[in-house]
Amino acid sequence: MLIRHVGHAEFLIETESGCRIVTDPYDASCGYPVPELTADAVLVSHQHHDHNAVETLKGNPRVIDKAGTYTLDSDIRVTALKGYHDNEQGAKRGETLLFLLETEGLRVVHLGDLGDALTDEQAEQLKNPDILMIPVGGFFTIDAALALKTARQLGARVVLPMHYKTEYNRDWPISGPEEFLKGYEKDDISLGLPCLRVTAGDLACQPKVALFTAVCGGQQA
């Protein structure tokens, strides 16, 4: 599996079989460059412009934007769970989806715009992810402290921070990833990665936290 962080909460996940899955695509108004990506499937956590810009993708991808369990291929399953975009049960910003992607013997979790602590039921369904994509910037989502607690609650093997302040969204009222990174030893963190290649057999060789470059490219190969 090859994972690229396009920017914000958008990742490009490419399986060994060649299936290309994009999470939470953003539009140009977010400030990030919008690369040309072709996708077979797109996971949309909620209908905000920085997470639902399906129109930016090529390839007529299958859109998963509702709770449920979906089969993309014989070895690719996606489970979408309902969560809250705030800590008032959605009263301020509504709901978000939490995604579990299972393929190649790996469990990959993307927490969308999670704005509250996970319930026991959610944590049970999402537990022990090999890869965890988690918002850490606060204000619109959980902050660094709750993100650290959530990552530990789930028992995540590799954590990919997302939804934090960068040079592209410096005017947003969110924080950078620094506070989140303070929760880990320096030797456990890999910074400035262009991408992450991971298999079920090499998880012991992977960092505990991987911080990608601000926009990892993701240009069409």
CB atoms within 10 A of CB 194: 10
Domain membership flag for residue 91 = yes
Domain membership flag for residue 31 = yes
Q: What does each C-alpha distance from 19 to 23, 70, 115, 153 come to in angstroms?
A: 13, 14, 30, 30
Indicate which CATH number applies to the domain containing 110.
Answer: 3.60.15.10
Domain membership flag for residue 22 = yes
Residue tagged 């902050």 (tokens): 143
When pLDDT is cut at 50, 70 and 90, the band that residue 214 belongs to is: low
Domain membership flag for residue 217 = no
Domain membership flag for residue 12 = yes
Does residue 51 register a pLDDT over 90? no
Domain membership flag for residue 64 = yes
pLDDT in tens, 140-184: 899 999 999 999 999 999 999 999 999 998 999 999 999 999 999
**CB proximity list for 45: less than 8 A, separation 6 or greater:** 9, 23, 24, 51, 65, 96, 97, 98, 99, 110, 112, 113
The reported pLDDT for the residue numbered 87 is 67
Domain count, the chain: 1
Task: Tell me the pLDDT of the chain averaged across its residues.
Answer: 91
Does residue 186 register a pLDDT over 70? yes
pTM of the predicted model as reported, rounded to 2 decimal places: 0.92
Provide the token pair at 216: 């990892």
Domain membership flag for residue 220 = no
Domain membership flag for residue 53 = yes
Percent of the residues in the chain that have a pLDDT greater than 90, as a whole number: 77
CB atoms within 10 A of CB 47: 11
Structural domain span for residue 102: 2-212
Does residue 219 register a pLDDT over 50? no
pLDDT in tens, 27-36: 998 888 998 8
